[in-house]
Chain A
């Protein structure tokens, strides 16, 4: 009987080649049914058709920096000279050429402010002061007129600083406004509720582009001849109004997701309305609202390019104007690709940061 019992250990066998390793992965993921196999083949075919010409245009046949537009056109590849020639115009617009270090520093200040605000260790009262100081520095750099800087009026601003200022200032003013609107919409006081609902529904009911037109085209007609409210300011206010309405709805979603018990708990602790909101409800509601809020942030950042229709040169506008130089016509692929990359870097970092923030803030009740 004992000869039927195996003693000692059986040597390890390799599993069959079609259950592990790359072949198995391919089978399980790409060819696990006839339609998936068909899709895989189609996609591989598509990529094989698209990628080599793209790389060829982007890199292998591209014209080195320094070639003339005529050589670029004759050669046919990407013309990176266009980007290097027009770089300063695309980034800074019509800001006086010798003074363009000022918008450059402005970009650095704004990005630095945003970066330190992203780190929760810096969420202290002095952060507000840093913002006030930063915005003041930006205003001094851009306008000038003091400390020996020449005065540059804001009709000459353009490019990346304009895009950043419109979106960063717009969002930082619209965010507190949107919290108030969201609270107002859920308020027990009918007057406040009616005002908030009317505002939100009115603004959400019109496209941003028509708000911008109203601000830039209609509004001046209501003013006496010669009285002008700054065009940039009008656009900025239109943006703030628009962003506030949209973010208010995102935050209302968060508020509604908070169980009633939390409100009652705040009351039970004897907190008044504002204390309860600030200490209990809003921290939870804002954490829940992060994904829709960031969604609004990202679309809003890109929507700043709509100011082109009211004649402001944001990043997209300067790229388009750069294309209208008679000597450099027709290089729109390079121009759009270049600013596309800039937009992507900003939007992608926003999205990545929001994912991190979401993880951090939800540590307490992960599901």
Chain B
């Protein structure tokens, strides 16, 4: 009852704030302050985590740096606020952070009643299954009667139940609260199957499994988890900036531009690339930014492929394949809208 009341009060306040916030204050506030306030995960390997020296790294973190670079031509002009899952929405609603780049799944309710506006998806994820090779299982359809290790209180748990019910199969859940303990239980042989987001499974296999080759990730993906940066309702210009920073990084990869060769492209005859890099002006002005905004992002943070490879790609301990996150030209879903 009490929490219901609080939620109602919170919702009333949020909507009040949303209706009163008028166009364009975020960019001015950020410029006046001199840095972007970015909400990130307090510790998700490859997406937002501090390294041994306390520097923030990760794919979500790099998109915070990219937005800062587009504004200030300096990837260090950003302050990171580590947020828990419960905190993240109040933090963006109250203006504590300007940008929420914290592995947040795009959903209808978040886009509407939670009051978020989503930039393009930076990572397409989905829930999958991992099993021991010894079981000889090739497909999730063969998992009838299996014991499944799953983390409690997550949508993962609900998706699992839905999937087995839809396919008329039974399973024995081993529900554990902490992610570490779920993994430990699985590798100790307490259950046949481990389920979580596919990126998490790959990371766990590469990073936690005693012998990674003993485990296989099944091909079925049973849910859609598109992860995207988000901003508050009510500031279209700020949403445009974040949106086009993401698109610029994807377009750069598609055009073959990366942080090493971007200077060579300044002399290009290709009008599309001229517009992107600000050689022919107009795009920056439309966004309210410097004409070099995309050039700076590519030069100092990199294109989408570089960001991916640096944080979660095959050469990192997480060893994730591009999969759905490949460019559309390579059979993936990453598709940038034209910069013109």
Contacts and interface: CB of A to CB of B under 8 A. Distances in A.
A297 B82 CA distance: 28
A93 B183 CA distance: 25
A321 B13 contact: no
Interface in A295-330: 308-311, 313, 317, 320-327, 329-330
A223 B93 CA distance: 11
B10 A94 contact: no
Interface stretch (A2-10, A84-92, A108-116, A341-349): A84-92
Given A317-B42, A326-B45, A311 B316 contact: no
A318 to B, nearest CB: 8
Interface stretch (A20-28, A161-169, A211-219): A211-219
Interface string B66-104: 000000000000010111101100110111100000000
Contacts of A218: 6, 9-10, 90
Given A221-B10, A327-B317, A329-B203, A320 B43 contact: yes
A317 B84 CA distance: 11
Interface in B207-257: 207-208, 210
B45 A89 contact: no
Given A317-B42, A326-B46, A330-B207, A89 B52 contact: yes
Interface residues of A, number: 47
B81 A155 contact: yes
A274 interface: no
Given A220-B96, A221-B14, A321 B207 contact: no
Contacts of B204: 329
A326 B50 CA distance: 10
Given A217-B87, A311-B82, A311-B87, A329 B207 contact: yes
Contact of B94 (A85, A223, A310, A332): A223
B114 interface: no
Contact of B43 (A88, A231, A323, A327): A323
Contacts of B203: 326, 329
B177 to A, nearest CB: 13
Ranked nearest first, the 7 interchain pairs of A and B with the lowest CB-CB distance are A324-B43, A220-B94, A330-B208, A329-B207, A94-B54, A324-B49, A225-B95
22 contacts: A73-B210, A74-B210, A89-B53, A92-B54, A94-B54, A94-B55, A96-B54, A97-B53, A220-B91, A228-B96, A308-B84, A309-B87, A311-B81, A311-B84, A311-B87, A313-B42, A320-B43, A321-B43, A322-B50, A325-B52, A326-B46, A329-B203
Interface of B: 6, 9-10, 13-14, 17, 21, 29, 42-46, 49-56, 79, 81-84, 86-87, 90-91, 93-96, 180, 183-184, 203-204, 207-208, 210, 312, 316-318
Given A321-B49, A323-B180, 14 more contacts: A74-B210, A85-B52, A89-B53, A97-B53, A218-B6, A220-B91, A231-B96, A308-B42, A311-B42, A313-B82, A321-B42, A323-B43, A324-B49, A325-B45
